[in-house]
Structure 1
Amino acid sequence: MSLARKRKTGGEASTLPHSISRTTSDDEKRRLPRPRPPPTSHSETLISLSTALALTTLAFVVRFYRIGHPDQVVFDEVHFGAFAGQYLRREYYFDVHPPFAKLLNALGAWLVGFKGDFGFDNIGDSYTTANVPYVGMRSFCAVMGSVTVPVVYAIMRESGYPVVIAAFSALLVLFDNGHVTQTRLILLDAALVLFMSLSLLCYIKFHQQRYREFSKTWWFWLICTGLSLACTLGCKMVGVLTFATVGVAVLWDLWGILDIKKNPEISYFYRHFAYRALGLILIPFLTYLAFFWVHFKILIYSGPGDSFMSPAFQETLQGNQLLLNAQEIRYYDTVTLKHKDTKQYLHSHLEAYPLRYEDGRISSQGQQVTCYPHNDTNNHWQILPTKEIPDSGRGRVVRHNDIIQLRHINSDTLLLTHDVASPLMPTNQEFTTVVPEDEERHNDTLFQLNLIDAHSGEPWRSLSGHFKLIHVPTKVLLWTHAKALPEWAFGQQEVNGNKNMQDRTTAWFVEDIIEDGQGMDFKNRTGHVEPKVVKKRNFFKKFFELQILMLQHNAGLTAEHPYASNPIEWPFCLSGISFWTDGDTQQQIYMIGNLIGWWITAVSVSVYVGIVLAEQLARRRGIEPLEEGIRNRLYRNTGYFFGAWAFHYFPFFLMARQRFLHHYLPAHLAASLIAGSILNFVLVEEVNYPVSVAGLNTRLRPAVRARMSKVALGVVGVLALVTIGMFLWEAPLTYGIT
């Protein structure tokens, strides 16, 4: 048999699971001391630490250079600076991202003396005029962005790569214009990328303890991994992609532990599974919950985010209008009804639907029912009972699941829907009105009042009582959508009957009570002023309501944006984002990656895929082109980095929401790790040191000695220089200088 066909034994240079000899029992293997690499010299340690210090210093210099320019609101500081102020004012806001990174920004703002008295209303608003300590606020983010660089270096060193290779991967992040732009402003990405990289590092450190399972150090790094993952998800929802990266590595690890040839006792697998579930699922979940607990504890006052939340949620906020002004609604009250999403009033006027629509369909020619954005007497509707009610008292209160009629005041007609197609949507029913004397149409005027999240018999309230109006005979819901009707309806918004009972956009509320049905003062119908006490609500109800809304609104960010881009463009840096411009000085901050650096990472990812495919083809023909240790590193260590890149990149192809270049930054960091690994594969000569432990031939963990030739050093040096040169060439756009 040729040497090419012989399987090499004993080479494992990876951070991911591997076994030692199968000839020894599982109990014996677990009792063995952990194999140790040849001792690291003092000079090598000093060089590595000095390199890390130099990279960290450079990262701080690059990110803090002219951090006070411009002294104006830049890009999304409009949002995230404002959120910091709302934390300090304790006013409730709504955002599609979890709160952890915003809490960190608020902490930074508080530490530098910001009082929350600046609104961040528009890009270009002056910080200096308003005496905002914006430099300190930006600096808090810049520190996190700077610390990311030595973390990248540590990932590579802990994975066993030489100092020069590890420094090169760190340099790709250090001198990346995109990372610098995004991490020196009051934004979320500095925290997101930092905790994403910490998650990768902590899992590597955890896996290094595989020979010391269940030890204190093993537990320490397991919990650190879980906490880092929770912090990543707490910054942005895309942190779930980091969970996926580590999750696949954990499953691979558990799959190896499950092998009966390695571990005959299934209880041993159960123990590993349970401890990982505790450290990587339960602890992160509790930590994630804690971020929202703090969020709710701070934001106790009514604020700009109230309207996104349910009435029950809003009534937990001090000063909320629902809490202060919500009134019970009684039969014969005249009210205005408003659609929750489009914020338009239910409206009707004397004009009728045309006989024939543009597509040839025939209408009922009934009175038009539409939605109108302005307050108008044609928005007034009276609530009529369909059962006997008392002359006075609380027996006249309208309640959940009551059957009602709605009378249009100005035309003295009753709201009706029937099996006639609506003007704009042939699948939905037309809404119109009918005179009360038409007894044959009585049933078509009956609607069931369904209060959202209500209990049986709960009273209907203005403002707080979000409801759905269900037509009794046909079970369709009163609904409107943003599309306007033609000129014959004065361009007003269409109202029709929606057949989808689960549609969340069918919610309405009573904005105002115009007149009491008995001529009483409806604001004081009980004869005394009731105290308005802030209501309590279960934390988990608030938590899950906010989670659902965050996901819905995130998915709903589909509007076109001039600087939105497609994921296919990102690895090649084909477009960027304009953050700020000054027409007078011709200065601009334009977020775009380091073109050389991004192309190096893109090529490295492609080369990695090519190497793996070529190696697999060779093995299919019985040829083993790679020594076992190199192959293990390529598949397990570089494969770990490749998984991080893939999980942080490909899911964006499935998202319909707006996508921007900065969404690629976590994937770019992973690609920088791949770039270093591929350079190591191509340029560095591996020297493996077998270690004999109790007669077992095994290999070291990834900390494998490696020599770099002068040619290899020269190649890495040239790539580093051209990357730095491109950074300097793009620097005017990064720092907004001329």
Structure 2
Amino acid sequence: MRDSEEVQGKRVVGRLAPVHQGAAMVTRLHNFMQHFRDSESVHSWWCVWWVFLVAAVASRLHYITMPYKVVWDEAHFGKMVGWYINRTFFTDVHPPGGKILLALFGYFGGYNGSHSFISPNTPYDGFHGIMPMRVGCALLGAGLVPLAFHIVWTLTRSLPASAFASALITFEVGTITLSKFILLDPLLFFFILASFHGLCLMHSVAHRSFSREWWGSLLYTGVMLGFVMSIKFVGLFVVLVVGLYTALDLWNKLGDLHCPLVNVLKHLVAYILCLIILPATIYITVFFIHDQLLVRAKSIHAAEEGIFSPGFQMKLKDNALNNITQPKDVAYGSIVTLKNNNLAGVYLHSHNLTYPERIPGKNMQQVTGFSAKDVNNYFKILFPEEDPDLANGFYNGLPELVSHGDWVRLYHPTTSAILACSKNKSLVTRKHRLIYAKPYNLTDVVEVVYSNNMFDSNSNSGVSSSLMSPWQLWKVHIEGGQPGDVVKTLDSRVKFLCVPYNCALTWSKAKLPLMWGGGQAEVTCSNNLQDPYTMWMVEQHYNPYLKNYTYNHLKSGFLSRFVETHRIMTWINSRLKPEGPDRFNSHRPWMWPICFKSQVWYDVNFRIVLLGNPLIFWINLVFLLITPVFLLYHYYRYKRGYDDTPQIEEKKERVLFACKWLLLAYLMHYIPFYTMDRILYYHHYFPALQFSSLLTGVVLGHLLEALDSWLPSSKANTAFYWVSGIFFVMLIYSFHLFCYVGYGHPTISGFNPDNSTFKNIRVFDEWEI
């Protein structure tokens, strides 16, 4: 009987054990949530930290090799990595810091820079060390989450707010997509948030001036600012945010009558050293590394080197100007290249193509501006009416030098044509005259007369031809020159004035139509003789009857190259206008906060679309609208003299500071794009998106923690748990719905909106998913 009771008792205990275990789990969960809300448990803090860190890394590394081919702008930046590894010169619109970091990822991953990255869809098979570059970008993209967590924690000391902000960044699909490929964006996002993180650390130790922690926060912020400016010029926006914070801090100290003026000056010096000189030093150092690494020209014909000054080009091995020897004084019969003396100046160029028949100047040979060194850039300087005496095309007797005030003709040897000015208007810049090249035979005088007459009669130019046609004559005007001054190679700045029309050969800065002009620069004759674009210089000079000289003394130093590189980068940036197919892909800033339009990145048997998590965009938009109301409400309470307990007042001050500066950072990274007329893409919004996610986390966390002010404690706890749970579930579910839009998914044929896997979650027709 006793044995039977014992057995029955064990069965009862066995049945009750799961109940007790379930009750224990509920108790532990309840305690965790209580600690989570109160933000007092170190254990809960680290648990949340590690959960989001693991989620961030896993979400960024998932599908990291898919597709195992070049995707979107990997074709752009992958080439640059190879050029760095092979030390080949190139120029780009962005500073070199991010590209050097990508090259380091590739170098330490074993990449030898041999992949062509020629275009999207080029396979990576057979090339080692490319995936480490994607992994490096993904890990920096994952670093946004711990940075976001600690930014919000530093500002608010609220674990829920930190978790909400971290979740918004962790599950944001567009940010993940931008973090998984060989791009500058994950690097830029990381250092932007790191710079703002430094601002938060500075604020948190502001009351401990000149302590070790205070100096550490300043130095950390300065280093991050230097890095972010070295990646993209968009980093200037966060520099302005930090600069405004320090300026206001100094202003407040200056207005504090209890703060000695000497102390204010000490802070000013510290800020200048750490937040101006240190970032500037890092920025210049990055350019110095870039300058020392890239020492080889791509080829003798590369356009990227051609837009730089001769002194810059002389630094590059394999460039035509590197260690060049050529005559110093220009003579009649010399073969020269003429380069426009302005920033990114083009070479005078002609080729065996004519202007279209449907316009004035039909069938005339084109004269254009070309950026690259090319055989068609060479022109021979002829006397006004004499022909060469020697079989090799040069003049007999002692060389006669070209001087200020001389009349010359410019002969194009490759096409046997001579430069001339037409009475017709130029084709793009209508206020200028048309420049063309006229067939001319140097060896047969009779044929010259005949071909000139035939050409003029067919071209309807109305110009009677002779051996010395005035429309072929150009007066040499050396800038600052006097009669008798000789044109010097690489030294003189020369204008060529058409004798009958008194107009100057100029680069109009316009482009010829792509259809018949190949998009090359337009060269015209301008009546504005003071136009700086009428200035030319002789860059390369060949004449076997003149003594050669070296020009190494003209080679640019680092500071000159540093300044010129920035001028070229600014020039390239100014030319990034929406045109051609790009005008259809260009986004406008109003589209971004509402997630109105997607951007297709890859669609060859595997489709990737940059869209983002629309739920996160829309939640952030709601809180962007709530935040100004929230700030105005508390400003009203402050003006009306409402008092709170010291504990609530301290927490409120933290939240208000966070809201003001996060909102300012968002606006600083968003509003400037409305002023830009350059081509814009969807990814330009994502730095601002990170700040809006942080702002949402701060405001949502504060509202939920403030429920105790409106509801009884038990109901406030219940509401907090439910709202928090629903928030996280919604984010995870929306991530589940949209993640493979950004990760990519295999496809069988081209995109069909009516038969798409994701057609049921398409809100706007502009979502190509």
- Structure 2-normalised TM-score? 0.73
Q: How does 1:459-498 map to 2 (within 5 A)?
A: 459-460=488-489, 469=495, 471=497, 476-480=504-508, 481-483=510-512, 495-498=523-526
Q: Is the 8 A contact 1:414 1:435 kept in 2?
A: no
Separation in structure 2 between the aligned mates of residue 490 and residue 274 of structure 1, nearest angstrom: 55
2:593 matches 1:564: no
Partner of residue 99, structure 1: 96
Q: How does 1:142-181 map to 2 (within 5 A)?
A: 142-181=138-177
Partner of residue 475, structure 2: 446
One-letter code of the match for 1:91?
T
- Which of 572, 577, 591 is the matching residue for 2:599? 577
How far apart are residue 382 of structure 1 and its match?
2.3
Partner of residue 323, structure 1: 322
How far apart are residue 447 of structure 1 and its match?
3.1
Q: Is the 8 A contact 1:94 1:308 kept in 2?
A: no
Partner of residue 291, structure 2: 296
Q: How does 1:107-146 map to 2 (within 5 A)?
A: 107-128=104-125, 130-146=126-142
Higher relative contact order (Cα pairs below 8 Å, separated by 6+ residues):
1
- Which of 281, 306, 311 is the matching residue for 2:276? 281
Q: Is the 8 A contact 1:338 1:510 kept in 2?
A: yes
2:226 matches 1:222: no
Q: How does 1:237-256 map to 2 (within 5 A)?
A: 237-256=233-252
Describe the superposition over 1:258-301 as per-residue Cα deviations: whole angstroms up to 9, x where unpaired: 104342x3332222112111111111001100000111111111
Q: Is the 8 A contact 2:82 2:113 kept in 1?
A: yes
Describe the superposition over 1:82-129 as per-residue Cα deviations: whole angstroms up to 9, x where unpaired: 11111110001111111111111100101111111111001000101x
Partner of residue 198, structure 1: 194
Separation in structure 2 between the aligned mates of residue 392 and residue 214 of structure 1, nearest angstrom: 79
Partner of residue 547, structure 1: 566
Partner of residue 305, structure 2: 306
2:718 matches 1:710: yes
Question: The residue matched to 1:684 in structure 2 has which SS?
Answer: helix
Partner of residue 673, structure 1: 694
Separation in structure 2 between the aligned mates of residue 512 and residue 83 of structure 1, nearest angstrom: 29
Separation in structure 2 between the aligned mates of residue 46 and residue 370 of structure 1, nearest angstrom: 76
Separation in structure 2 between the aligned mates of residue 79 and residue 640 of structure 1, nearest angstrom: 35
Question: The residue matched to 2:593 in structure 1 has which SS?
Answer: helix
> CA 1:438/1:353 → structure 2, altered by over 3 Å: closer, same or farther?
farther
Q: How does 1:300-699 map to 2 (within 5 A)?
A: 300-303=295-298, 305-323=304-322, 327-328=326-327, 329-335=330-336, 345-346=349-350, 370-371=366-367, 380-384=379-383, 405-408=408-411, 415=420, 422=426, 424-429=428-433, 445-449=474-478, 459-460=488-489, 469=495, 471=497, 476-480=504-508, 481-483=510-512, 495-498=523-526, 516=543, 521=544, 525-526=546-547, 536-560=555-579, 561=582, 562-583=584-605, 587-614=606-633, 622=640, 629=650, 632-685=653-706
Q: Is the 8 A contact 1:567 1:653 kept in 2?
A: yes
* Count of residue correspondences: 644
Q: Is the 8 A contact 2:511 2:519 kept in 1?
A: no
> CA 1:350/1:76 → structure 2, altered by over 3 Å: closer, same or farther?
closer
How far apart are residue 648 of structure 1 and its match?
0.5
One-letter code of the match for 2:586?
A
Deviates more, 1:628-637 or 1:106-115: 628-637
Describe the superposition over 1:686-718 as per-residue Cα deviations: whole angstroms up to 9, x where unpaired: 999xxxxxxxxxxxxxxxxxx973312321221
Describe the superposition over 1:170-201 as per-residue Cα deviations: whole angstroms up to 9, x where unpaired: 11111111111111111011111111111111
> CA 1:431/1:257 → structure 2, altered by over 3 Å: closer, same or farther?
same
Separation in structure 2 between the aligned mates of residue 402 and residue 733 of structure 1, nearest angstrom: 68
One-letter code of the match for 1:581?
D
Deviates more, 1:606-615 or 1:80-89: 606-615
Separation in structure 2 between the aligned mates of residue 285 and residue 351 of structure 1, nearest angstrom: 50
Question: The residue matched to 1:573 in structure 2 has which SS?
Answer: coil
Q: Is the 8 A contact 1:449 1:467 kept in 2?
A: yes
Describe the superposition over 1:640-675 as per-residue Cα deviations: whole angstroms up to 9, x where unpaired: 111110111111111111111111111011001110
Q: Is the 8 A contact 1:316 1:534 kept in 2?
A: no
Partner of residue 766, structure 2: none
Query: Which stretches in structure 1 are left out of the alignment for 5+ residues?
Result: 1-39, 359-364, 689-706
Question: The residue matched to 2:678 in structure 1 has which SS?
Answer: coil
- Paired-residue identity, %: 24
Question: The residue matched to 1:123 in structure 2 has which SS?
Answer: coil
Describe the superposition over 1:584-635 as per-residue Cα deviations: whole angstroms up to 9, x where unpaired: xxx2111111111111111111111233345556777x47598754653354
Describe the superposition over 1:42-100 as per-residue Cα deviations: whole angstroms up to 9, x where unpaired: 97122212211221111111111121111100010001111111111000111111111
Describe the superposition over 1:487-544 as per-residue Cα deviations: whole angstroms up to 9, x where unpaired: 9x9999864234678978667676977x85xxxx47xx548xx889798531111111
One-letter code of the match for 2:718?
K
One-letter code of the match for 1:724?
I
Partner of residue 49, structure 1: 46
How far apart are residue 403 of structure 1 and its match?
5.6
Q: How does 1:716-735 map to 2 (within 5 A)?
A: 716-735=724-743
Q: Is the 8 A contact 1:348 1:368 kept in 2?
A: no
Separation in structure 1 between the aligned mates of residue 732 and residue 528 of structure 2, nearest angstrom: 57
> CA 1:261/1:718 → structure 2, altered by over 3 Å: closer, same or farther?
same
How far apart are residue 422 of structure 1 and its match?
4.7
> CA 1:112/1:425 → structure 2, altered by over 3 Å: closer, same or farther?
closer
One-letter code of the match for 2:721?
L
Partner of residue 76, structure 1: 73
Q: Is the 8 A contact 2:111 2:127 kept in 1?
A: no
Separation in structure 2 between the aligned mates of residue 351 and residue 102 of structure 1, nearest angstrom: 41
Separation in structure 2 between the aligned mates of residue 55 and residue 319 of structure 1, nearest angstrom: 51
Question: The residue matched to 1:218 in structure 2 has which SS?
Answer: helix
Question: The residue matched to 2:143 in structure 1 has which SS?
Answer: helix
Question: The residue matched to 1:446 in structure 2 has which SS?
Answer: strand
Separation in structure 2 between the aligned mates of residue 348 and residue 379 of structure 1, nearest angstrom: 14
Q: Is the 8 A contact 1:649 1:667 kept in 2?
A: yes
> CA 1:649/1:494 → structure 2, altered by over 3 Å: closer, same or farther?
closer
Question: The residue matched to 2:41 in structure 1 has which SS?
Answer: helix
Q: Is the 8 A contact 2:87 2:295 kept in 1?
A: yes
One-letter code of the match for 2:488?
P
Question: The residue matched to 1:285 in structure 2 has which SS?
Answer: helix
One-letter code of the match for 2:82?
G
One-letter code of the match for 1:345?
H
Separation in structure 2 between the aligned mates of residue 261 and residue 378 of structure 1, nearest angstrom: 70
> CA 1:467/1:122 → structure 2, altered by over 3 Å: closer, same or farther?
farther
How far apart are residue 384 of structure 1 and its match?
4.5
Structure number with greater Rg is 2
Question: The residue matched to 1:590 in structure 2 has which SS?
Answer: strand
One-letter code of the match for 1:646?
L
One-letter code of the match for 1:135?
M
Instruction: Give the aligned CA root-mean-square deviation in angstroms.
Output: 4.4
Partner of residue 31, structure 2: none
> CA 1:68/1:506 → structure 2, altered by over 3 Å: closer, same or farther?
farther
Separation in structure 2 between the aligned mates of residue 71 and residue 109 of structure 1, nearest angstrom: 16
Partner of residue 712, structure 2: none
